[in-house]
């Protein structure tokens, strides 16, 4: 009898004929999911906040590549904050109104599009650094990177407003009852979204990194075969090339993780099926994995975490400290 009453409970009891019914998931199971998702959300936001503080604070880290990592960390940080709202779409009544529903989808779409754009920019950065190292300092400047990052975010927001135009103009148009938050994208908009946020960027990323991999392997073989004594200048050049290859390898792992997390979501979309909550969660979980990769492969990030946690970052002129 109690189960029947719970199944019949309305989100808005005063709206008998138009209110949605509350989900019937067992309370203990729902609480476990909320605790797990909230914990991952908090961890994602905290780790990416450490990346943001590190790169923003220490001037030695103000390089073009790190500016791209900073932009990626911002999108991952926002994704971490937005993660709990995914549960509200399917596991609870939506109490924030139709406008907030449309805006939440718009923000989520913008963040995911910006993440994809950042990955493309990182791939281009590594491609130029490995394949055209002599002209890299003049081609990839901080000013150009900042412009590209700003364009990435602006274009992501503009593209999101086009895809979700109907929902932003008429929020709640596809809701079947009060207390529901759904967004329906037509076939044309879905196809455009698939091309511009998945097929196109993924193709660019894979092609560029295949080229980077081939060049990096050839450079490594050339260095191993070079047994003649070199001058100090050449030694510095060799060390710089090794550093670039290491950065390419680390960021290659970031991109590989990105592909693993995003591909299932879009492959299901290609088949015309509806994505499950698990696949959507996997997309968001990618935002938590990126800082973990940095911690494993970037000594400067581990050192920066120690300085932040011990509050040494608050000391005068700490921004000038050696972090590399």
Domain ranges across the chain: 28-224+232-320
Q: Which residue has the higher pLDDT, 187 or 69?
A: 69
Closest CA to 324 of 302, 297, 299: 299
Model confidence at 18, pLDDT cuts 50, 70, 90, reads: confident
Under 8 Å between Cβ of 212 and 248: yes
Q: List beta partners, residue 114.
A: none
For the residues of 11-45, what is the DSSP string, one character each? Answer: SSTT-TTTBPBPP---HHHHHHHHHHHHHHHHHHH
Arithmetic mean of pLDDT over the chain: 80
Hey, what are 73's tokens? 């960390």
Closest CA to 281 of 69, 89, 31, 72: 89
Hey, what are 100's tokens? 């907030």
Q: Which residue has the higher pLDDT, 265 or 288?
A: 288
Query: Rounded to the nearest 5 degrees, what angle is found at the Cα of 112, between the Cα atoms of 159 and 202?
Result: 90
Give residues with Cβ within 8 angstroms of 220, minimum separation 6: 245
pTM of structure: 0.83
How far is residue 99's CA from residue 77's CA, in Å, rounded to a whole number? 23
Fold adopted by 28-224+232-320? Rhopdopsin 7-helix transmembrane proteins (1.20.1070)
How many C-alpha atoms does 68 have within 13 Å on its Cβ side?
Answer: 21
How far is residue 61's CA from residue 313's CA, in Å, rounded to a whole number? 14
Model confidence at 91, pLDDT cuts 50, 70, 90, reads: low
Q: Which residue has the higher pLDDT, 164 or 33?
A: 164
Q: Is the pLDDT of residue 213 over 90?
A: no
Q: In whole angstroms, how far apart are CA 137 and each of 128, 141, 214?
A: 10, 6, 22
């Amino acid at each position: 009898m109690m189960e029947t009453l719970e199944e019949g409970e309305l989100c808005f009891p005063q709206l008998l004929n138009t209110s949605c019914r509350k989900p019937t998931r067992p309370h203990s199971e729902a609480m476990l999911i909320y605790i797990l998702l909230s914990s991952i959300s908090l961890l994602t936001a905290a780790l990416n906040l450490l990346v943001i503080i590190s790169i923003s604070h220490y001037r030695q880290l103000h390089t073009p590549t790190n500016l791209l990592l900073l932009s990626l960390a911002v999108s991952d940080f926002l994704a971490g904050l937005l993660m709990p709202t995914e549960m509200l779409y399917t596991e609870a009544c939506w109490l924030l109104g139709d406008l907030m529903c449309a805006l939440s989808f718009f923000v989520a779409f913008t963040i995911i599009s910006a993440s994809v754009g950042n990955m493309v920019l990182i791939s281009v950065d590594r491609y130029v650094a490995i394949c055209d190292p002599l002209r890299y300092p003049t081609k990839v400047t901080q000013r150009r990177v900042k412009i590209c990052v700003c364009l990435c975010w602006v274009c992501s927001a503009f593209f999101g407003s086009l895809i979700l135009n109907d929902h932003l103009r008429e929020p709640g148009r596809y809701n079947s009852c009060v207390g529901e938050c759904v967004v329906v994208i037509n076939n044309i908009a879905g196809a455009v979204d698939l091309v511009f946020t998945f097929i196109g960027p993924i193709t660019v990323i894979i092609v560029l990194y295949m080229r980077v991999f081939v060049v990096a392997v050839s450079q490594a073989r050339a260095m191993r075969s070079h047994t003649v004594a070199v001058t100090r200048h050449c030694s510095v050049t060799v060390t710089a090339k090794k550093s670039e290859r290491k950065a390419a390898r680390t960021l290659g792992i970031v991109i590989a993780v990105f592909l693993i997390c995003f591909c299932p979501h879009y492959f299901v979309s290609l088949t015309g099926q509806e994505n499950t909550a698990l696949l959507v969660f996997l997309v968001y979980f990618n935002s938590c994995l990126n800082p973990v990769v940095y911690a494993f492969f970037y000594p400067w990030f581990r050192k920066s975490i120690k300085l932040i946690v011990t509050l040494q970052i608050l000391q005068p002129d700490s921004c000038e400290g050696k972090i590399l």
